[in-house]
A and B are shown apart, each in its own frame.
Chain A
Amino acid sequence: MYRLAAKRLLPALGRRNSHFLSSSSGVRALADFINPPRFTTSAASETVSSQNPLNNDSFASSSSTVRSEEERSRAHDETQRSRSPTRPKAHWQEEQARVLHASLRHVIRLGWTDAAMIAGARDVGMSPAIVGSFPRKEAALVEFFMDDCLQRLIEVIDTKEDLQNLIPSHRVAKLVRIRLEMQAPYISKWPQALSIQAQPLNIPTSFKQRAMLVDEIWHAADEEAADIDWYVKRTVLGGIYSTTELYMLTDTSPDFQDTWAFLDGRVRDAFDLKKTVQEVKYLAEAVGAGIGGSLPGFMKKVFNG
């Protein structure tokens, strides 16, 4: 599944990097999990981190690095494939993804639990013993779901034409809504998922997944905007997304009408704030220009007089 995610993400990184800054380490991590090592080693305490393929702060990097890394990783991938033709076709990551995908069907009944994963494994004809090979079992399921939703969201962004006709604030609201609607079927079990994500061991991954999601939405919302600080924008949207997500948990209105009204309100607030900040900036500039203009004049007067 990560291979798939990486394939999606790499081009996404490539097209995005014109206005984002970051290091190339994230990209290397991506390349690493495209070509996972044959076996991993782990000391007792680090079992988790060593197998967590989403440990990439992959927001972007300078365009050249991304492209070259991407090409290199692809080339590497190919050479690896040609080097070991006997390698079984069913790669363990793909098999694990299949199990997780089948498990999602059981989540509504069994929750984000071992039991759902065991049922999922049975569905795809795997021994349920495979569940034991997932690091941080239930978290793996939630994280898979998050990745899956992100992919679907990216597909929506890439294919939906009418999104382009909306103004940025509506586009943001629409995308957040599309994303949240994806977890609507699981709403009764979503608090459990949130609690799993909030466990100390799982926080790094869930935080990164949210960061990637918010990033994707902002990117789709306004291509060229670089006016307010990059981090502020993402933090604000992250806040909106999370509060709406929580609001949704207790929303009993049909089709979550209240939630979407709430979401629209928060997005409007944010854009108003943005406008306010903009206005303050203009005012400051005007005042600055005024002072700048008047001060020399004043000084001239003083010295001349």
Chain B
Amino acid sequence: MATALRSIARSLRKNNIQPLCNSRSFLHSHATSFGFKEVREEEKSQMVGNVFTSVSSSYDLMNDVMSGGLHRLWKDRLVSKLNPFPGMKHLDVAGGTGDVAFRILENINSVKNRAMLDVHDDNLLEETKIYICDINPNMLNVGKKRAEERGFGDNKSLIWLEGDAEALKFEDDSMDGYTIAFGIRNVTHIEKALAEAYRVLKRGGRFLCLELSHVELPVFKELYDYYSFSVIPALGELVAGDRESYQYLVESIRRFPSQEKFASMIAGARFQKVEYENLVGGVVSIHSGVKF
């Protein structure tokens, strides 16, 4: 969930840096949402930047505390749906801390997958490339550090890149897979990010998105709302020493399009076989689509 925060920080920081983005935002409106509040874009980026700075130190801890460790299972689920294979070219957007990328790499290197390799596919493992793209260099540094801790320090399959989800620096039809975990919500123009995902994917390539979503189950919804609006900010105060940031986080989740709406947005980006799967009754959902 904190990933969400920092990707907001990222996308907005980018807005400040790039005059192009600024001019675009002028065309539309200066006002944007900061949680439930309407604020000016420049202010928002400043605010989100602050949010991110204040929570970054306890980022991993807060992820575990807020989701009760469930975010690990959600990411595992995402990767198992992706079904990585040796020789894959994968792009993980907003994956600065490498959580998803490490899982993909471990999955590819697992015994099961090694066993099914062809004899003449020996160098396939080396051909595997996982690009981790994040708009925020700080997050990439966190990821690189964690890669070293995990023994992936000199792994040639992991490639860390600074980049914007709305303007990827990859060629058309170059990727087998595209994942974005807890990131798309914070991209300023979701349609643009989807169009970019479609562009860089090969035919048959898959788009997968893990995102905090909407709970509709009657009783569970009340519990979840209570948890979101009362417990999470309190936790944030307790653990990260920052109540406002987590108040903002839960509000921003509510502003993200519903599962159906987001699915139709993905279909609108010309993806086919668009599906979504709700986990924990819709607290998070995994959307997927295939490019043909």
Contacts and interface: CB of A to CB of B under 8 A. Distances in A.
Q: Do A and B interact?
A: yes
Interface of A: 38-44, 47, 51, 88, 90-92, 95, 99, 110, 113-115, 118-119, 121, 125-133, 137
Interface in B190-232: 201-206
Q: Which of A41, A88, A113, A125 has the most CB of B within 10 A?
A: A41
A129 B204 contact: yes
A129 B88 contact: yes
A137 B83 contact: yes
B203 to A, nearest CB: 6
Contact of B277 (A47, A113, A125, A126): A47
Closest 9 CB pairs of A and B: A132-B83, A126-B204, A130-B204, A127-B204, A39-B274, A127-B202, A129-B176, A115-B116, A127-B205
23 contacts: A38-B267, A39-B273, A42-B277, A88-B270, A88-B292, A92-B273, A92-B292, A95-B292, A113-B116, A114-B83, A114-B85, A118-B85, A125-B203, A127-B206, A128-B176, A128-B204, A129-B83, A129-B85, A129-B202, A130-B290, A131-B85, A132-B206, A137-B83
B128 to A, nearest CB: 12
Interface string B245-265: 000000000000001100110
B272 interface: yes
A132 B277 contact: no
Given A39-B275, A127-B202, A132 B81 contact: yes
A90 to B, nearest CB: 5
Interface of B: 81-83, 85, 87-88, 116-118, 176-177, 201-206, 259-260, 263-264, 267, 270, 272-279, 288, 290, 292
A236 to B, nearest CB: 40
Contacts of A47: 277
Q: Which of A43, A44, A128, A137 has the most CB of B within 10 A?
A: A128
A118 B116 CA distance: 11
Nearest to A88: B292
A40 B202 CA distance: 23
Given A39-B263, A44-B279, A131-B83, 20 more contacts: A39-B267, A39-B273, A39-B275, A39-B276, A43-B277, A43-B278, A47-B277, A114-B83, A115-B116, A115-B117, A115-B118, A127-B177, A129-B177, A129-B204, A129-B206, A130-B206, A130-B290, A132-B82, A132-B83, A132-B206
A127 B203 contact: yes
Contacts of A132: 81-83, 177, 206
A127 B177 CA distance: 9
Contacts of B290: 92, 130, 133
B249 to A, nearest CB: 24
A132 B83 CA distance: 5
Given A41-B275, A133-B273, A133-B288, A128 B82 contact: no
B278 A95 contact: no
A111 to B, nearest CB: 9
A209 B116 CA distance: 28
A92 B206 contact: no
Contacts of B177: 127, 129, 132
A92 B201 CA distance: 15
Contacts of A128: 85, 87-88, 176, 204
